[in-house]
Amino acid sequence: MDQSGVLLWVKAEPFLVGALQMPPPSKFSLHYLRKISTYVRTRASEGAYPRLYWSAWRHIACGKLQLPKDVAWLYFEIFEGLSVKTPEERLEWSELLSNCTSEDEVEKQRNQLSVDTLQFLLFLYIQQLNKVSLRTSLIGEEWPSPRSRPQSPDLTEKSNGHNKNWNDYSHQAFVSYHLSDLLELLLDPEQLSESFHSTHSSLVSREGVMALSFLIEGTVSGARKIYPLHELALWQPLHAESGFSKISKTFSFYKLEAWLRASLTENPFGTSACLKSGKKLAWAHQVEGTARRAKIACNTHVAPRRHRMVVMSQVCKQTLAKSSDTLLGAHVKIHRCNESFIYLLSPLRSVTIEKCRNSTFVLGPTETALHLYSCDNVKVIAVCRRLSVSSTTDCIFHILTPTRPLILSGNQRVTFAPFHTHYPMLEDHMARTGLATVPNYWDNPMVVCKENSDTSVFRLLPPSEFYVFITPFEMEGDTTEIPGGLPSTYQKALDLREQKIQIWQKTVKEAHLTKDQRKQFQVLVENKFYEWLINTGHRQQLDSLVPPTVASKQAAG
Weakest-pLDDT range from 202-216, 257-271, 448-462: 448-462
How far, in Å, CA of 447 to CA of 406, rounded?
A: 6
Residue 553 has pLDDT above 50, yes or no: no
pLDDT digits (tens, 9 = 90+) for 77-104: 999 999 999 999 999 999 999 999 999 9
pLDDT band at 424 (very low <50, low <70, confident <90, very high): very high
How far, in Å, CA of 205 to CA of 201, rounded?
A: 13
- Domain spans in the chain, listed from the N-terminal domain onward: 6-131+163-263, 271-490
Q: Are 345 and 555 within 8 A, CB to CB?
A: yes
Nearest to 127 by CA among 204, 37, 22: 22
Residue 148 has pLDDT above 70, yes or no: no
Q: Give residue 513's pLDDT.
A: 83
Report the amino acid identity of residue 500: K
How far, in Å, CA of 260 to CA of 204, rounded?
A: 13
Residue 112 has pLDDT above 80, yes or no: yes
Give the CATH number of domain 271-490; options: 3.40.50.1580, 3.30.70.141, 2.160.20.70, 2.40.50.180: 2.160.20.70
Contacts of 184 (CB under 8 A, 6+ apart): 34, 192, 196, 197, 198
Q: Give residue 194's pLDDT.
A: 80
How far, in Å, CA of 459 to CA of 447, rounded?
A: 12
Q: Give residue 286's pLDDT.
A: 62
pLDDT digits (tens, 9 = 90+) for 301-341: 899 988 999 999 999 999 999 999 999 999 999 999 999 99
How far, in Å, CA of 526 to CA of 530, rounded?
A: 6
Weakest-pLDDT range from 70-79, 224-233, 336-345, 503-512: 503-512
Average pLDDT, the chain: 88
Residue 438: CB atoms within 10 A of its CB come to: 13
pLDDT band at 344 (very low <50, low <70, confident <90, very high): very high
**CA separation, residue 390 to residues 315, 360, 394, 465 (Å):** 22, 17, 12, 24
Mean pLDDT of 544-550: 44
How far, in Å, CA of 243 to CA of 257, rounded?
A: 9
Share of residues in the chain with pLDDT > 90 (%): 74
Mean pLDDT of 280-294: 74
Q: Give residue 152's pLDDT.
A: 38
Residue 551 has pLDDT above 60, yes or no: no
Nearest to 226 by CA among 144, 163, 157, 304: 304
Weakest-pLDDT range from 52-56, 286-290, 471-475: 286-290
E-strand ranges in 345-447 read 350-354, 357-363, 366-373, 376-390, 396-400, 406-407, 414-418, 446-447
pTM (2 d.p.)? 0.89
Q: Are 408 and 448 within 8 A, CB to CB?
A: yes
Residue 159 has pLDDT above 50, yes or no: no
Contacts of 541 (CB under 8 A, 6+ apart): 319, 341, 360
Q: Give residue 221's pLDDT.
A: 82
Q: Give residue 478's pLDDT.
A: 96
**CA separation, residue 89 to residues 92, 93, 94, 120, 432 (Å):** 5, 6, 9, 20, 11
Mean pLDDT of 96-123: 97
Q: Give residue 541's pLDDT.
A: 63
Weakest-pLDDT range from 127-141, 252-266, 385-399: 127-141
Residue 199 has pLDDT above 70, yes or no: yes
Q: Give residue 557's pLDDT.
A: 40
pLDDT digits (tens, 9 = 90+) for 466-525: 999 999 888 999 999 999 999 999 999 999 998 888 887 888 888 888 888 888 878 887
Transcribe 124-166 into DSSP letters: HHGGGGG---HHHHHHS-PPPPSS-----HHHHHHT--S-GGG
Mean pLDDT of 345-351: 98
* DSSP code of residue 296: E
